[in-house]
Amino acid sequence: MASPRLSVGLDIGGTKTLAVLLGDDGEVLAQSRLSTALGPVGVVDGAARAVQGVVRQAGVTLDAVTGVGVGVPGLVDAGAGTVRHAVNLGLDGAALDLSTLLSARLGGVGVGVENDLNVAAVGAAHLVEAEAGDRTPTDLAFLALGTGLAAGIVLDGRLRRGSHGAAGEIGHVPVDPAGPPCACGQRGCLELYASGSAVTALWPTATGRPAPVELFEAAAAGDPDALVARATYARAVAAAVRMLVLTVDVQHVVLGGGVSQLGQPLLDVVRDALVDESAASGFLRSLDLPGRVRLAPGRVAVGAVGAAVVGRGAVAHARDLAG
Ligand SMILES: [Zn+2]
């Protein structure tokens, strides 16, 4: 009997590291959550511990793992397996050879490294395909509504990074040339209206809880200012969805990032905005934008699942080089 093809995925964030063990059929066999250790030594040590922990939890050994994938925030060179400028992880401009260092700690298993947004997109595509009950490669964008705004894009089941790694950087498409200055040097970028930070600007938190939670609570309670602010925000997210569909015609736009923790109430207002904007356009109506936007499936960590899918590819790559 062939031994099962297991892979481990890690999603290393600034405060926590999520780990999953993915089985032969792509099912999640175990998952865990640890505090992230910072700095070059901490990141490698913490990643090795997270892999060993989730493997032990599933009652298997490292020998059964054929590949490991790691999602990290920062500038990733996926081909080289390196990361730099991951400020949240205490990594500066010097490239950390995460792939080689982690592989050495794990008995030589192949390690793939990918940007955190990209692993989330790969994970969302994997889960959407599993939910649909078939493995037809999907077209999907994972729209991260966080501190910033960007999308990870999967086309025909393959991650699309772009020729300069800038695919999906729609947060810096200017939507109002007379708008406020953006950190990127332009004015009126979409990120200033549709990111999580934009919610905080629209509706500053009064109690210290996340601004999106307070805004949506106030709107649900009928506060007229909150209703206006919520509709303004929903239109901005709808603009991001429209931009993605009209550029790459993805079947699914998955809402992710911190704001997406609002869940169904967020999805409802974004769909409403898309319906409103399609009202005068038969062209837009024919594209069914409201039907394409959705939340991430299930309650598993999409980023860690995507990293585990990347980990499988790391094996294939290593074999390609060997063969
Ligand atoms: Zn910008």
Domain that holds residue 47: 6-120+301-322
At residue 262, what are phi and psi to the nearest 5 degrees? -65, -30
- 167 & 306 share domain: no
35 shares its domain with 139: no
Query: Judging by DSSP bridges, how do beta strands 110-115 and 75-77 pair with one another?
Result: unpaired
Task: Examine residue 129 and state whether it is found in any structural domain, yes or no.
Answer: no
Instruction: Clarify whether residues 209 and 312 are in a common domain.
Output: no
Query: What is the pLDDT, as a whole number, of residue 79?
Result: 92
CA of 136 to the centre of ligand 1 (A): 35
Count of domains forming the chain:
2
Total count of residues recorded for the chain: 323
Q: How far is the CA of 1 from the centre of ligand 1 (A)?
A: 54
Residue 109 contacts by C-beta under 8 Å, 6 or more apart in sequence?
62, 65, 66, 67, 68, 103
Listed as ranges, residues in the chain with pLDDT below 50 are 1, 319, 322-323
The Å distance, Cα 168 to ligand 1 centre, comes to: 13
Distance 170 CA to ligand 1 centre (A): 9
Distance CA 125, CA 140 (A): 6
Nearest to 308 by CA among 69, 4, 6, 60: 69
Phi, psi of 96 (to 5 degrees): -100, 120
Cα 190 to middle of ligand 1, angstroms: 7
Judged by DSSP in three states, 68 sits in: strand
* 188 CA from centroid of ligand 1 (Å): 7
Q: Report CA(141)–ligand 1 centroid distance (Å).
A: 20
Q: Are 182 and 191 in contact (CB under 8 A)?
A: yes
pLDDT at 1: 46
- Domain containing residue 314: CATH number: 3.30.420.40
Amino acid 24: pLDDT: 86
The reported pLDDT for the residue numbered 303 is 96
Q: For residues 171 and 144, what is the distance between their CA atoms, to the nearest angstrom? A: 10
The answer to whether 100 touches 115, Cβ cutoff 8 Å, is no
| CA 173 to ligand 1 centroid distance, Å | 7
- 112 and 144 share a domain? no
The CA 195 to ligand 1 mean position distance, Å, reads: 11
Per-residue pLDDT at 323: 39
